């Protein structure tokens, strides 16, 4: 296509409607038509990135290969489409203001009053166009976080209004709203949608396509009503009913012609509807799987979004192993308190994941879970802090260092088996200063890890941590049976440990969960699930 086209995805009525899933589905469907796409998220908060946010506020922090801490929606973009996002795919109000203020200080706007319009809005537009102009995408899909009507989304809406005005049919706005079902009246209500669209119109934006999230099917009469009240073509009123899996959404959107509607709006010949071959085969396998594999996530956040990429990676791997996944969250603080039901739950799992995290809370429970898995030969996967807890547990119980610890938890330990990385010792700023993004790792031939990676000996995985395995103890671990089977070739940092005698006991300093996708499940998760499946 001659020039890049821009698709904006906004949300109305309430949050949590799944704009990220819709944006990812649009990306998937356009890719299936042979287009080169990327997806970008704008978050209207002032933080520079979500790295310093509590997962209770914001869910998981996803990390791109180039080391940006981002919103978890970027994980959906990558899992659905297989694209690799970068720091340009994530923006926040904070980053945009900071860039404008830095430019003001360096004299770039000399003589001018700096204002939201045009300076902030121009910076927003520049960051939307940048993606299209630099990488030659056919489509840039930009998801605007938050809900229409929030004070903080106003500059983004103004930027969209201007881009739509400047670009005509090369820019479309897709608005996702909610149609509530009122049980007492047995009715679906479109009024909130009408109000949300009015709000957009008051900002000068006429949505081109509406996607209505609903728990019940909307009949044609209701769709026609919405179309009429909201100035939208009937074929552009699409419904997104609750489905058993988020991965069914692209297929449902394609059935209703969402991609075709976008193309017609943009004056692109529609042609035949493409087959979603491999995607449909994945869905088919999910539907046909009858047996279940039970995985316990041992962590401190009992919130489903806090470990999103881990659950999705487990789910992909289970599908390709012909199993349904059943994930149970096990609160590590309850394990510390010897809470019997939590221990019973843990003992009933086919495999355990010891989750990543920061700080003291709940780490003792993670260490206890790692010990249980080691002593009872339960497949166990430690990720980042999870690996560090496996290492500490081994030091305390096998090496005999009763006070072994990470200096993150106990700076005065006499056995600092996990310690601050050299490069981190002089860092004082909190945000964006961890070891972040992709680094190489060399895998020891013949190890369980090498087997999982199917013989690949040089891999790249994403990181998000400050502490590392202390090399002073390496020999001791290896002679006692915990092998350091993955090492960063440049910095000699331990990236993977394993106990080869165990059924599956592997810890990774990196986060493999950031790179599992629907069509390319991650090899470590594949091998962990395989080991967890009872014969």
The catalytic residues are: 384, 511, 513
Does 139 contact ligand GLN by CB under 6 A? Answer: no
Please return the burial class of 154, using the count of CB atoms within 10 Å of its CB with bins 0-12, 13-18 and 19+. middle
Cβ 361 to ligand GLN shortest distance, Å: 11
Of residues 51 and 296, the one with the C-beta less far from ligand GLN: 51
Q: DSSP readout, 85-104?
A: --GGGEEEHHHHHHHHHHHH
Of residues 378 and 385, the one with the C-beta less far from ligand GLN: 385
Of residues 246 and 385, the one with the C-beta less far from ligand GLN: 385
Does 496 contact ligand GLN by CB under 6 A? Answer: no
Does 356 contact ligand GLN by CB under 6 A? Answer: yes
Does 79 contact ligand GLN by CB under 6 A? Answer: no
Does 299 contact ligand GLN by CB under 6 A? Answer: no
Of residues 286 and 466, the one with the C-beta less far from ligand GLN: 466
Does 12 contact ligand GLN by CB under 6 A? Answer: no
Does 408 contact ligand GLN by CB under 6 A? Answer: yes
Does 59 contact ligand GLN by CB under 6 A? Answer: no
Of residues 374 and 465, the one with the C-beta less far from ligand GLN: 465
* Site size for ligand GLN (CB under 6 A): 10
Does 384 contact ligand GLN by CB under 6 A? Answer: yes
What does the alpha-carbon distance between residue 428 and residue 272 come to, in Å, rounded to a whole number?
Answer: 56
- As beta bridge partners, residue 141 has 7, 39
Cβ 359 to ligand GLN shortest distance, Å: 7
Of residues 132 and 365, the one with the C-beta less far from ligand GLN: 365
- Selection from 170, 224, 389 nearest residue 299 by Cα: 389
What does the alpha-carbon distance between residue 161 and residue 5 come to, in Å, rounded to a whole number?
Answer: 15
Q: Pick one of 11, 67, 357, 437: the residue that binds ligand GLN (CB under 6 A).
A: 357
Of the listed pieces 26-34, 308-316, 461-469, 499-507, which binds ligand GLN according to CB under 6 A? 461-469
Does 365 contact ligand GLN by CB under 6 A? Answer: no
Q: Pick one of 124, 297, 335, 385: the residue that binds ligand GLN (CB under 6 A).
A: 385
Q: Pick one of 161, 366, 464, 502: the residue that binds ligand GLN (CB under 6 A).
A: 464
Cβ 357 to ligand GLN shortest distance, Å: 5
Q: Pick one of 358, 407, 410, 431: the residue that binds ligand GLN (CB under 6 A).
A: 358
User: Quick one: how far is CA 391 from the chain centroid?
Assistant: 27
Cβ 106 to ligand GLN shortest distance, Å: 34
54 contacts: CB under 8 Å, gap ≥ 6: none
216 contacts: CB under 8 Å, gap ≥ 6: 181, 188, 241
Does 19 contact ligand GLN by CB under 6 A? Answer: no
Torsion of CA 136, 137, 138, 140, to 10 degrees: -140
What does the alpha-carbon distance between residue 524 and residue 459 come to, in Å, rounded to a whole number?
Answer: 12
Does 466 contact ligand GLN by CB under 6 A? Answer: yes
- Provide the phi-psi class of 504: left if phi over 0, else alpha when psi is between -120 and 50, else beta: beta
Of residues 170 and 438, the one with the C-beta less far from ligand GLN: 438
Cβ 419 to ligand GLN shortest distance, Å: 10
Strand order across the beta sheet in which 380-383 lies: 324-331, 292-299, 351-354, 380-383, 505-508, 494-498, 483-487, 435-443, 458-465
**What is the CB neighbour count within 10 angstroms for residue 361?**
13
Q: Is the sign of the CA dihedral 425, 428, 430, 432 positive or negative?
A: negative
Query: Phi and psi dihedrals of 77, rounded to 5?
Result: -55, -45
Query: Phi and psi dihedrals of 372, rounded to 5?
Result: -55, -45
Does 8 contact ligand GLN by CB under 6 A? Answer: no
- The angle, 0 to 180 degrees and rounded to 10, between the axes of the packed helices 258-265 and 19-32 is 80
Does 49 contact ligand GLN by CB under 6 A? Answer: no
Of residues 99 and 409, the one with the C-beta less far from ligand GLN: 409
Does 392 contact ligand GLN by CB under 6 A? Answer: no
Using CA atoms, how far residue 198 sits from 202, 204, 328, in Å, is 6, 10, 42
Cβ 526 to ligand GLN shortest distance, Å: 22
Binding region for ligand GLN (CB under 6 A)? 356-358, 384-385, 408, 464-467
């Amino acid at each position: 296509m001659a020039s890049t086209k821009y698709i904006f995805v906004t949300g109305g009525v309430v949050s949590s409607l799944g704009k990220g899933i819709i944006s990812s589905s649009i990306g998937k469907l356009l890719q299936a038509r042979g287009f080169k796409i990327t997806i970008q998220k704008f978050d209207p908060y002032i933080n520079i990135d979500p790295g310093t946010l509590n997962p209770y506020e914001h869910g998981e922090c996803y990390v791109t290969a180039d080391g940006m801490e981002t919103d978890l929606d970027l994980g959906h973009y990558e899992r659905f489409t297989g694209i690799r996002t970068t720091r340009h795919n994530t923006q926040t109000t904070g980053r945009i203001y900071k860039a404008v203020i830095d430019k003001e200080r360096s004299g770039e706007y000399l003589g001018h009053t700096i204002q939201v319009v045009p300076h902030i809005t121009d910076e927003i537009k520049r960051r939307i166009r940048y993606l299209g102009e630099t990488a030659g995408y056919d489509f840039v899909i930009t998801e605007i976080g938050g809900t229409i009507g929030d004070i903080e989304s106003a500059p983004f809406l103004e930027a969209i209004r201007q881009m739509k005005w400047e670009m005509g049919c090369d820019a479309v706005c897709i608005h996702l709203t909610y149609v509530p079902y009122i049980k007492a009246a047995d009715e679906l209500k479109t009024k909130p949608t009408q109000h949300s669209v009015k709000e957009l119109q008051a900002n000068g934006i006429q949505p081109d396509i509406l996607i209505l999230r609903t728990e019940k099917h909307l009949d044609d009469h209701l769709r026609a009503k919405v179309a009429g009240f909201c100035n939208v073509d009937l074929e552009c009123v699409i419904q997104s009913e609750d489905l058993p899996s988020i991965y069914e959404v692209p297929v449902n959107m394609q059935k209703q012609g969402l991609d075709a509607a976008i193309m017609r709006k943009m004056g692109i010949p529609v042609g035949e509807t493409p087959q979603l071959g491999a995607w449909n085969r994945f869905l088919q396998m999910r539907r046909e799987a009858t047996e279940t594999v039970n995985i316990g996530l041992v962590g401190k956040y009992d919130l489903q979004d806090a470990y999103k990429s881990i659950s999705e990676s487990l789910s992909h791997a289970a599908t390709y192993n012909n199993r349904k996944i059943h994930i149970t969250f096990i609160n590590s603080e309850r394990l510390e308190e010897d809470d019997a039901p939590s221990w019973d739950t843990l003992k009933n799992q086919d495999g355990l994941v010891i989750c990543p995290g920061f700080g003291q809370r709940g780490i003792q429970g993670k260490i206890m879970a790692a010990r249980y898995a080691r002593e009872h030969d339960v497949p166990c996967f430690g990720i980042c802090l999870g690996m560090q807890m496996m290492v500490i547990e081994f030091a305390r119980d096998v090496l005999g260092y009763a006070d072994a610890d990470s200096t993150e938890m106990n700076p005065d330990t006499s056995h600092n088996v996990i310690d601050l990385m050299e490069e981190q010792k002089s860092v004082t700023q909190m945000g964006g200063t961890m070891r972040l993004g992709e680094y190489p790792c060399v895998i020891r031939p013949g190890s369980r890890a090498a087997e999982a990676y199917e013989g690949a000996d040089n891999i790249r995985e994403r990181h998000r941590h400050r502490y590392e395995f202390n090399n002073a103890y390496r020999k001791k671990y290896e002679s006692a049976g915990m092998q350091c089977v993955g090492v960063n070739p440049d910095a000699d940092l331990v990236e993977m440990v394993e106990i080869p005698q165990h059924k599956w006991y592997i810890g990774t300093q990196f986060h493999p969960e950031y790179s599992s996708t629907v069509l390319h499940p991650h090899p470590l998760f594949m091998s962990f699930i395989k080991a967890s499946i009872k014969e």
